C-alpha cells in the first residue's frame, strides 16, 4: 500500500489505499466525513488508512478529496475495466454514479451539500476521472450524500478491477488503410 501525503499550512493528509477487502481506518476529526470515507473505501473494496487534520472543515474536506483522488489514480492500471455505473437507493434517496477512469477529469453533479459536492470535484480532478452524479430523488441531505458515496464506491470497485480484454481506449491504436482501427 503506497501512502500519498499532502502537507500545507492549513492541512496534513496521509492516505494509503490498496485493492483488498474493504478494511479501513479513518481519522479526520469530522465524524460525517469519517463515515463517508469508511463507506466509500469499503464499498470500493479497498483497504485503506486515512489520517487528516486541518484548520478549517472546508480545507480538510477539499484536501482529503485531492489526496483520495490521487490515491485512486495510482491504483488504476492500464488493464482496468475503466467504466462503471451504479445506482443506490437509501431510504428516500436514489442516486446514480457513472465513472470513467480514462484520465480526463470532468465532474457533473449537484449534491445538496456544498462541502461534499466540492469533495467530489476535488476527488475527480485528482483521480483524473470523469464522474457524473445524478440525484434521481431524495429529500434527506444525509441520505443523498451517503448514497452518492456508496454508489461511487461500488462504481470504483468495478472500474478498478482488471478486465481481461485489455485497455478500453483507442488512443494509440493504429488506423488501418481501410479507415478502421
Q: Tell me the average pLDDT across 150-179.
A: 73
User: Do 162 and 79 touch, CB atoms closer than 8 A?
Assistant: yes
User: Do 102 and 82 touch, CB atoms closer than 8 A?
Assistant: yes
Q: What is the DSSP letter of 74?
A: H
Average pLDDT, the chain: 92
The whole-model pTM stands at 0.90
Establish if 40 belongs to a structural domain. yes
Handedness of CA 10, 15, 112, 100 (dihedral sign): positive
Establish if 167 belongs to a structural domain. no
What is the three-state SS of 7-25?
ECCCEEEEEEEEECCCCEE
2-50, pLDDT tens digit by residue?
899 999 999 999 999 999 999 999 999 999 999 999 999 999 999 999 9
pLDDT of 40 = 98
- What CATH number should be reported for the domain holding residue 21? 3.30.230.40
Determine the Cα angle at 118 with ends 121 and 145, to 5°: 100
pLDDT of 83 = 97
Give the residue numbers spanning the domain of 45: 2-160
Determine which helix (DSSP H) or strand (DSSP E) holds 49, and give its type and residue range: strand 46-54
Establish if 181 belongs to a structural domain. no
Amino acid at each position: 500500500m503506497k501512502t500519498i501525503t499532502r502537507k500545507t499550512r492549513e492541512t496534513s493528509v496521509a492516505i494509503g489505499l490498496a485493492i483488498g477487502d474493504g478494511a479501513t481506518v479513518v481519522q479526520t476529526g469530522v465524524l460525517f466525513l469519517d463515515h463517508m470515507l469508511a463507506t466509500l473505501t469499503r464499498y470500493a473494496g479497498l483497504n485503506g488508512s486515512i489520517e487528516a487534520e486541518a484548520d478549517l472543515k472546508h480545507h480538510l474536506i477539499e484536501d482529503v478529496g485531492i489526496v483520495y483522488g490521487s490515491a485512486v489514480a495510482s491504483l488504476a492500471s492500464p488493464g482496468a475495466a475503466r467504466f462503471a455505473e451504479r445506482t443506490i437507493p437509501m431510504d428516500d434517496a436514489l442516486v446514480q454514479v457513472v465513472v470513467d477512469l480514462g484520465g480526463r477529469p470532468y465532474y457533473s453533479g449537484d449534491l445538496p451539500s456544498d462541502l461534499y459536492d466540492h469533495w467530489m470535484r476535488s476527488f475527480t480532478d485528482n483521480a483524473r476521472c470523469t464522474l457524473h452524479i445524478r440525484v434521481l430523488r431524495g429529500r434527506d441531505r444525509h441520505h443523498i450524500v451517503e448514497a452518492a458515496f456508496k454508489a461511487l464506491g461500488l462504481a470504483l470497485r468495478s472500474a478498478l478491477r482488471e478486465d481481461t480484454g485489455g485497455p478500453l481506449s483507442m488512443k494509440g491504436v493504429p488506423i488501418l488503410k481501410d479507415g478502421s482501427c
